[in-house]
Amino acid sequence: MANLYLTEQNSVLRKSGDRLIVQKDDEILLEVQCHKINAVLIFGNVQFTTQAVHELFEHGIEMAILTRTGKLIGQITSPATKNITLRLQQFRKYWDNTFRLALSREIVSGKIKNCLQVIRHFSYNHPDISFEAENISLKTRLNDVKSAAQIEQLFGLEGSAANAYFDAFGKMLLSEFSFPGRKKHPSTDPVNALLSLTYTMIFNEISSLLDGLGFDPYLGYYHSIDYGRASLASDLMEEFRAPIGDRLTLNLINNRVFGQGDFYSNPNDSSVYLKRESLKRYFVEYEGMLNHGFVHPGTKENTTFRKCFRLQAERLASSIQNDSPYIPFELEI
C-alpha cells in the first residue's frame, strides 16, 4: 500500500465502483483500487466528490488537504476506528509526571542516537571528513538526558544536540547546495526546503495513523499542548527525523536528484519550494524511502519505515495501557 498524492491543479477525484479516478477535463489521469491506498493527500486546487469521500471512509482511508507547498490545512477521517478506552487512558497518563518524563527521555535519547548513526554511516564512506567535535557534543548531550529531572531540561539538551548535529549535517552535503543551518519558518534555501517538506510528510502520516488507532493526536507528552498542533505526532516523529528526513535529503542532494533549477523562491518572504514537476518526483523518492525493506534492529523482522510508524504507535499504546517501557526506534545501518 502507498499514499496517493494529488498535485494536478483543477483535477477532480471521484469514484467508479471500488476504484478512485483522478480526472482533468475529459482526460483520466489515474485509476486505482482503494485497497491499494494507504492515504490520500490533496495539494492545492484539487476537487473531490462526496461519493469519493464515502468510498474512502468505507475503506478506512484518511484524506489530508494541504496547500500547494505542503502545509497541512486539515484532515478528513472516518469515526469508525475511534478507541475511546485508549483516549481515556492517554488523558490519564498526561497527568502522570513520572510517566511523561520517562517517555520524554526515551524520545530525546532515540533522536540523538539516530543522529549519531547517520553521522557514523556517512563517516564510513568519507573518513577524510572529521566529525569528532560534533560526536563528542552529541554523546555528552545523550548522557545528560539520563539525569534530566524536568521536561524543560530535555528541550534544552535536544536543542543543543540539534545545533551540533546540523553542523555535522552541513559537512555531509557534497554538492552545489550550501546549508546555512536549520531554517524553518520560512525555509529560505533548497536544503531546508527539502528537510521541512519531508518532516511535514512524516508528521502528517504519523498524525493520521495516531488518529486512526484511537489516540488523540493533539495530546502530547513531551511537546506541550498548543492550539491546533498534533503534539503527540510531534512526539512520535522525533526519532524518525534523522533516519528518514535527513537521510532522504542527503540522498536527493548528494546524488543530484535535484538541482538548483528544481526550486523557486517566493518573492514575498524569500521562502523556497520545489517546483510542481519536481514535487512529483519528490513523492516518488519519498515513497521509495518509506517502502524500502530492511531488517528491524529490534524485532529482527523484515519491515519498512511505514510499518515502523505503526509499530512505534503500538509501542506507545502499550506503554500507556500497560505501563511497559517505551522503546524508541533506533536506526541500525
Q: Given CA atoms 272, 112, 302, 58 in this order, what sign does their dihedral have?
A: negative
Mean pLDDT of 150-154: 96
- Specify the pLDDT at position 142: 96
pTM of the model: 0.88
Query: Each residue of 133-151: pLDDT tens digit?
Result: 999 999 999 999 999 999 9
Return the SS3 of 36. helix
| Angle at alpha carbon of residue 321, lines to 320 and 326, rounded to 5° | 40
Q: Count the alpha carbons within 13 Å of 112 in the hemisphere toward its beta carbon.
A: 30
Percent of the chain with pLDDT over 70: 98
For domain 84-322, the CATH class is mainly alpha
d(CA 209, CA 215): 9
User: How much is the pLDDT for 81?
Assistant: 55
Render pLDDT for 8-28 as a digit per residue (tens, 0 to 9): 888 999 998 888 999 998 888
Alpha carbons within 13 angstroms on the beta-carbon side of residue 10 total 4
**Listed range (128-132, 154-158, 267-271) with the worst mean pLDDT:** 267-271
pLDDT, position 38: 79
The pLDDT of residue 109: 97
The DSSP code sequence of 250-312 is HHHHHTTSS-GGGEEE-TTT--EEE-HHHHHHHHHHHHHHHH--EE-TTT-SEE-HHHHHHHH
Q: What is the CATH number of domain 2-81?
A: 3.100.10.20
Mean per-residue pLDDT, 52-75: 82
For CATH 3.100.10.20, list the domain ranges present in the chain. Answer: 2-81
Q: What is the pLDDT of residue 232?
A: 96
Backbone angles phi, psi at 78, to 5 degrees: -80, 145
Q: What are phi and psi of 60, to 5 degrees?
A: 70, 30
**Residue intervals in the chain for CATH 1.20.120.920:** 84-322
- The one-character DSSP state at 191 is H
| Strands of the 12-16 sheet, one edge to the other | 27-33, 19-24, 12-16, 47-48
